[in-house]
């Protein structure tokens, strides 16, 4: 049995729906409504819609699988991620400490309205010269911190900006079209706890220029541990999405370019595909009265 939860648009209306083995059923709740419930109650709502499924897809456009959820991310959860951070920055001891310490790196990634979905374009900053996709499993978390489901994520990142100074991480990670989620949410009670294999491929002009695979089995921290740290001092009444880090970081000679296509896949979670565009301007905007001062 395969159950997936989808965010769809039909004309001017958006809705949530369940697909069970190719048959569709409408949900009478938003994702935020479901994630506000205890997990067993949310499961009952989803399973009832799946049991009643029998129609065609109730929409013509697939939207990102979020509505009111903030998106957060964990970093340096794989050994390859630690090594990639050291490579770009030269701050080896800093990232060794993050990888080995009890407290993980957790940072804000995106507001829900900035998230893009399957087949929509992700972005690289026009003021960055070294940019990579980061293929990740994302946790869809209920208001209590329980794992409601999983989806795939692309945490687009500027290695040149972050490598210049670790304090620039928000600019390297948070900008328009920097976060993709999709194609759908797979409920935790059907997907199981993992581990999940993940594949990443980048195509340019019809040719594959990068490919790699990993598994969440290689993570230094578990899903529940990361969720626990996110919820330690934060509340999320409509739930949250937490990206769990990447185990695939291209070597220093690789950068993503506008026109590329990024494909992230996992057998249990589907395939997330996004073309790449440039975002923003190569030079900073200079607003009136924005004189730079040094003291």
Amino acid 249: pLDDT? 86
Q: Provide the residue-wise pLDDT of the chain in tens; the chain has 295 residues.
A: 589 999 999 999 999 999 999 999 999 999 999 999 999 999 999 999 999 989 888 888 999 999 999 999 998 888 766 666 656 666 557 777 777 888 999 999 999 999 999 999 999 999 999 999 999 999 999 999 999 999 999 999 999 998 888 899 999 999 999 999 999 999 999 998 899 999 999 999 999 999 999 999 999 899 999 999 999 999 999 999 999 999 898 888 899 999 999 999 999 999 999 999 999 999 877 776 555 656 5
Q: What is the pLDDT of residue 86?
A: 59
CA distance 256 to 145: 34
d(CA 40, CA 148): 9
Give pTM, 2 decimals.
0.93
Sheet strand arrangement including 270-279: 122-125, 270-279, 261-266, 197-204, 207-215
Burial label, 29 (beta-carbon count in 10 A; 0-12, 13-18, 19+): middle
Q: What is the pLDDT of residue 85?
A: 64
Helix (H, G, I), strand (E, B) or coil at 248: coil
The CATH number of domain 70-279, selected from 3.90.850.10, 3.30.70.980, 3.40.50.300, 3.40.50.10330: 3.90.850.10
| Alpha-carbon gap, residue 149 to 200, rounded angstroms | 21
Report the 10 Å Cβ neighbour count for 211.
12
Question: Domain residue spans in the chain?
Answer: 3-62, 70-279
The helix (run of H) or strand (run of E) holding residue 25 is strand 23-26
Helices (H), 36-173: 39-51, 79-89, 92-100, 159-164, 169-173
Q: What is the DSSP letter of 68?
A: S
What is the predicted pLDDT for the residue at 289?
59
- Identify the three-state secondary structure at position 48: helix
Q: Which residues, including other chains, have CB under 8 Å from residue 250's CB and lie 6 or more apart?
A: 132, 210, 212
Q: What is the pLDDT of residue 258?
A: 98
């Amino acid at each position: 049995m395969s159950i997936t939860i989808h965010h769809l648009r039909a004309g001017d209306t958006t809705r949530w729906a369940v697909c069970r083995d190719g048959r569709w059923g409408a949900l009478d709740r938003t994702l935020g409504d479901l994630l506000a419930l205890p997990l067993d109650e949310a499961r009952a709502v989803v399973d009832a819609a799946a049991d009643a499924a029998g129609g065609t897809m109730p929409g013509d456009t697939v939207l990102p699988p979020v509505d009111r959820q903030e998106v957060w991310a964990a970093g340096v959860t794989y050994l390859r991620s630690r090594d990639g951070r050291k490579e770009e920055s030269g701050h080896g001891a800093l990232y060794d400490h993050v990888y080995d310490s009890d407290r993980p790196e957790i940072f804000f990634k995106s507001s829900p309205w900035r998230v893009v979905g399957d087949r929509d374009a992700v972005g690289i900053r026009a003021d960055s010269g070294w940019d990579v996709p980061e293929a990740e499993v994302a946790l869809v978390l209920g208001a209590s911190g329980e794992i409601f489901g999983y989806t795939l994520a692309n945490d687009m990142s500027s290695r040149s900006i972050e490598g210049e100074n670790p304090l620039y991480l928000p600019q390297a990670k948070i900008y328009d079209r920097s976060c993709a989620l999709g194609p759908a949410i797979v409920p935790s009670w059907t997907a199981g706890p993992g581990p999940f294999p993940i594949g990443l491929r980048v195509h340019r002009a019809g040719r594959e220029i990068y490919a790699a695979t990993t598994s969440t089995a290689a993570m230094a921290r578990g899903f529940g541990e990361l969720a626990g740290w996110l919820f330690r001092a934060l509340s999320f009444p409509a739930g949250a999405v937490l990206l769990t880090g990447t185990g695939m970081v291209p070597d220093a000679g690789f950068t993503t370019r506008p026109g590329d296509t990024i494909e992230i896949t996992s057998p249990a979670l589907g395939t997330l595909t996004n073309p790449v565009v440039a975002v923003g301007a190569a030079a900073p905007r200079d607003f009136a009265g924005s004189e730079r001062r040094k003291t």
